[in-house]
């Protein structure tokens, strides 16, 4: 039977595209079609390359590879290529890393998050001790901080307020020029949040700095301020913020920041995943076991383990990278980042039908795309050191998704060859563009939303199951919700909010003979991680390992044995059950066939969406680039304060 959603594999993947990546076309009063999205991106890349030595790109090859879901570019660039990227190149990148060693760290993080880019940051003591001491006394100031209605305006106002608070001055602020809540953001897409979240951040900052009078902010206070910044960006017309917080493994306050009922008094801490930094080689067994038990008890995979020693060892392997830096990472922890650096991702989609020749072609295209992206260094607002670092290293992050759909081809030897193709292709195209070749090129990212867009297993993970129902929640006021109901997609009222939310069901079936999570142990997943770390990655493979109750001891032993190379792995309890309206509901073949017969998925006619949507309601700016353990944000529920 002809697939009506081609090139997307099914109705669910076409939904992911329309709800997450299609930009609004003002002149035509509708969302883009896939060919228009890809063409917009390729044309932008062509124009950018032409500015570099008049370099001509193989636009047809790039277009076909992306259109046919063989290779994916930066998904942030896919959303923002055009006027939004012309203004500033930060939105082209998925994530960034910076230490909290200066008051500028707070407003720079704010600006980066407002661009839709995730942030990794460190509150290790060696950084926060560089912050200035706060005045012992505070007084009300006549200074009025006027907020301009732009990303730069918000960040600059926050910067001014932090500076005044350090000096003991409590300013007033004027937000009268900020657009009201719900106003359209025409260039970047989405909706304005209004001034209320920003004022909330200002008040939070005043209280925080007053409590710290006469001393420096502590690690936990810096952490909470970063989380509060992310909290207000969540409702700021941008995406749901992704962050990772790195801290000293001996920092008791940070280690316990999510103990007890932390969400009641400190709910903002949900905005960051926490990972303890191991600066040197593996610790003694007693110390490790205490930390492993703490991770087990949390049931949340936190605090995670971040080995800086491992990152330095990995960075030094290829002989092209200076391994002496105090590296950090992005929220998903697949990229080894110097301070003040962005991660630059592209993705090879591995199919069950792929031959080695096909994968070589994809590797070449992914490397070309990444090399072009590495030339995007026109960063507004940020300090010059961001541009300098990115231009020096020109990092790539060529990832593989769908690894478990073709394990037979991805052997040690073939992974080595594919990695070498990426490295050599980057050298060739960097020379053409007149920029430095990359110091590190390959990784494996978790690939939550992208894998659902292309219908592949996510990153190096096994598929959830051979057949399952994928549920998506929609706000009843959203035109997309009303459209899906009208099209006949099976739905139910949300059990938790029946009057406001609808749950849609999409049946999903993997390729025949799919490798699924129930077919493997946690050690199987870890050994696959190690293969990719050793033979493919110049950065790291990132994944979530689901650990069954009887596996925690042997998994802990594996981690301890491999400690000096381990980084980028999240450990969560294996959830073998299901619950009503769960995101993934596993079905046997008989159950699946019966469900499809009773609830046939209609052919969704996306051209009719414009009958329900008369203005821009796109939420692509909320696409979650990376958030370890949960990067597949697919619901169409509006983000609320």
How many other C-beta atoms are found inside a 10 Å radius of the C-beta of residue 363? Answer: 25
Half-sphere exposure of residue 512, counting CA atoms within 13 Å on the CB side? Answer: 1
> Is 471:505 a contact under the CB 8 Å cutoff?
yes
Q: Looking at residues 355-384, what average pLDDT do you find?
A: 98
The Cα–Cα gap between 328 and 338 comes to 6
Give me the phi and psi of 139, to 5 degrees please.
-145, 150
Query: Does one domain contain both 523 and 499?
Result: no
Q: Residue 344 above 50 pLDDT?
A: yes
Helices (H), 491-599: 522-535, 552-561, 589-598
Domain count, the chain: 3
Query: Does one domain contain both 77 and 100?
Result: no
Least confident of 239-243, 270-274, 286-290, 444-448: 239-243
Is residue 407 one of the residues assigned to a domain?
Answer: yes
Query: Does one domain contain both 425 and 455?
Result: yes
Helix (H) or strand (E) holding 475: strand 467-475
Q: Looking at residues 361-372, what average pLDDT do you find?
A: 99
Query: Does one domain contain both 530 and 391?
Result: yes
Is residue 21 one of the residues assigned to a domain?
Answer: no
The Cα–Cα gap between 182 and 474 comes to 18
The Cα–Cα gap between 350 and 447 comes to 12
The Cα–Cα gap between 547 and 481 comes to 36
Query: Does one domain contain both 101 and 62?
Result: no
Give the pLDDT band (50/70/90) at residue 623.
Answer: very low
User: Per-residue pLDDT tens for 172-208?
Assistant: 999 999 987 766 676 666 666 789 999 999 999 999 9
Is residue 321 one of the residues assigned to a domain?
Answer: no
**DSSP-assigned letter for residue 636:** B
User: Per-residue pLDDT tens for 267-318?
Assistant: 999 999 999 999 999 999 999 999 999 999 988 889 999 999 999 999 999 9
Q: pLDDT at position 614, please?
A: 83
Distances from the Cα of 418 to the Cαs of 58, 411, 425, in angstroms?
20, 10, 11
The Cα–Cα gap between 508 and 592 comes to 9
Q: pLDDT at position 233, please?
A: 86
The Cα–Cα gap between 215 and 128 comes to 11
Q: Residue 511 above 90 pLDDT?
A: no
> Is 630:513 a contact under the CB 8 Å cutoff?
no
Query: Does one domain contain both 52 and 159?
Result: no
Percent of the chain with pLDDT over 70: 93
Query: Does one domain contain both 252 and 225?
Result: yes
The Cα–Cα gap between 439 and 75 comes to 22
Q: Residue 351 above 50 pLDDT?
A: yes
Is residue 386 one of the residues assigned to a domain?
Answer: yes
Query: Does one domain contain both 454 and 478?
Result: no
Q: Residue 624 above 70 pLDDT?
A: no
User: Per-residue pLDDT tens for 452-474?
Assistant: 999 999 999 999 999 999 999 99
Contact residues for 231 (Cβ-Cβ < 8 A; gap 6+): 197, 201, 241, 268, 271
Least confident of 176-180, 357-361, 403-407, 543-547: 176-180
Q: Residue 381 above 90 pLDDT?
A: yes
Is residue 409 one of the residues assigned to a domain?
Answer: yes
What's the whole-number average pLDDT of the chain? 92
Query: Does one domain contain both 479 and 617?
Result: yes
Q: The sheet that has 584-586: what strands, in order across it?
A: 491-493, 501-509, 467-475, 584-586
Is residue 225 one of the residues assigned to a domain?
Answer: yes
Give the pLDDT band (50/70/90) at residue 261.
Answer: confident
Q: Residue 128 above 60 pLDDT?
A: yes
Is residue 597 one of the residues assigned to a domain?
Answer: yes
Q: Residue 625 above 70 pLDDT?
A: no
Query: Does one domain contain both 370 and 492?
Result: no
Q: Looking at residues 108-121, what average pLDDT do you find?
A: 96
Query: Does one domain contain both 359 and 386?
Result: yes
Half-sphere exposure of residue 641, counting CA atoms within 13 Å on the CB side? Answer: 14
Half-sphere exposure of residue 119, counting CA atoms within 13 Å on the CB side? Answer: 32
Q: pLDDT at position 202, please?
A: 98
Query: Does one domain contain both 137 and 170?
Result: yes
CATH of residue 131: 3.30.1620.10
76: containing domain: 33-88+336-459+517-544
The Cα–Cα gap between 303 and 298 comes to 8
Q: When comparing pLDDT for 441 and 509, which is higher?
A: 441
Q: Looking at residues 2-25, what average pLDDT do you find?
A: 92
Is residue 567 one of the residues assigned to a domain?
Answer: no
Q: pLDDT at position 596, please?
A: 96
């Amino acid at each position: 039977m002809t697939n009506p959603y081609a090139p997307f594999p099914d109705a669910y993947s076409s939904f992911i595209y329309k709800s997450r990546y299609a930009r609004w076309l003002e002149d035509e009063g509708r969302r883009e079609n896939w060919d228009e999205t890809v063409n917009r991106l390729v044309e932008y890349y062509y124009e950018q390359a032409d500015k570099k030595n008049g370099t001509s790109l193989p636009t047809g090859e790039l277009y076909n590879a992306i259109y046919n879901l063989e290779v994916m570019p930066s998904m942030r660039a896919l959303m923002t290529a055009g006027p939004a990227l012309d203004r500033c190149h930060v939105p082209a990148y998925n994530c960034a890393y910076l230490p909290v060693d200066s008051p500028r760290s707070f407003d720079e993080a704010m600006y980066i998050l407002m661009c839709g880019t995730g942030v990794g940051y460190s509150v290790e003591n060696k950084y926060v001790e560089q912050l200035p001491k706060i005045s012992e006394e505070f007084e009300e100031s006549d200074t009025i901080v006027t907020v301009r209605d732009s990303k730069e305006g918000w960040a600059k106002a926050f910067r001014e307020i932090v500076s005044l608070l350090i000096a003991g001055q409590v300013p007033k602020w004027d937000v009268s020029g900020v657009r009201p809540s719900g106003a359209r953001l025409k260039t970047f897409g989405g909706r304005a949040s209004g001034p209320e979240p920003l004022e909330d951040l200002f008040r939070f900052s005043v209280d925080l700095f007053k409590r710290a009078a006469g001393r420096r902010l502590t690690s936990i206070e810096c952490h909470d301020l970063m989380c509060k910044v992310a909290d207000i960006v969540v409702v700021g017309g941008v995406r749901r913020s992704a962050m990772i917080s790195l801290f000293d493994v001996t920092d008791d306050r940070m280690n316990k920041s999510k103990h007890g009922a932390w969400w009641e008094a400190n709910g903002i801490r949900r905005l960051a995943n926490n990972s303890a930094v191991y600066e040197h080689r593996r610790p003694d067994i007693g110390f490790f076991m205490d930390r492993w038990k703490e991770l087990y008890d949390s049931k949340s995979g936190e605090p995670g383990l971040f080995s800086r020693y491992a990152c330095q060892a990995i960075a030094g392997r290829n002989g092209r990278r200076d391994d002496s830096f105090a590296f950090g990472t992005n929220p998903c922890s697949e990229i080894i980042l110097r301070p003040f650096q962005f991660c630059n991702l592209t993705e090879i989609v591995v199919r069950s039908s792929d031959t080695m020749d096909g994968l070589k072609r994809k590797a070449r295209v992914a490397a070309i795309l990444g090399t072009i992206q590495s030339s995007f260094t026109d960063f507004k607002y940020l300090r010059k050191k961001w541009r300098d670092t990115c231009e020096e290293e020109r990092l790539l992050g060529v990832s593989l998704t769908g690894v478990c759909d073709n394990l037979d081809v991805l052997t040690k030897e073939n992974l080595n060859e594919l990695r070498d193709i990426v490295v050599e292709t980057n050298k060739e195209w960097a020379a053409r563009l007149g920029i430095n070749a990359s110091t590190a090129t390959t990784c494996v990212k978790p690939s939550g939303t992208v894998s659902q867009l292309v219908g592949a297993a996510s990153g190096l993970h096994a598929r959830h199951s051979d057949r399952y129902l994928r549920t998506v929640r929609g706000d009843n006021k959203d035109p997309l919700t009303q459209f899906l109901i009208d099209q006949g997609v099976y739905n139910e009222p949300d059990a938790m909010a029946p009057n406001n939310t609808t749950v849609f069901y999409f049946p999903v079936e993997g390729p025949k003979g799919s490798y699924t999570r129930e077919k493997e142990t946690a050690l199987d997943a870890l050994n696959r991680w190690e293969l990719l770390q050793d033979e493919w990655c110049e950065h790291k493979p990132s994944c979530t390992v689901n650990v069954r109750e009887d596996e925690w001891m042997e998994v802990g032993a594996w981690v301890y044995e491999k400690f000096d190379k381990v980084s980028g792995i999240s450990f969560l309890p294996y959830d073998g059950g299901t619950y009503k309206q769960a995101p993934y509901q596993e079905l046997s073949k008989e159950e699946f066939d019966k469900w499809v017969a009773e609830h046939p998925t209609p052919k969704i006619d996306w051209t009719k969406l414009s009958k329900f949507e008369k203005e821009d309601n796109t939420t692509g700016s909320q696409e979650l680039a990376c958030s370890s353990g949960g990067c597949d944000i697919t619901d169409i529920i509006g983000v609320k304060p």
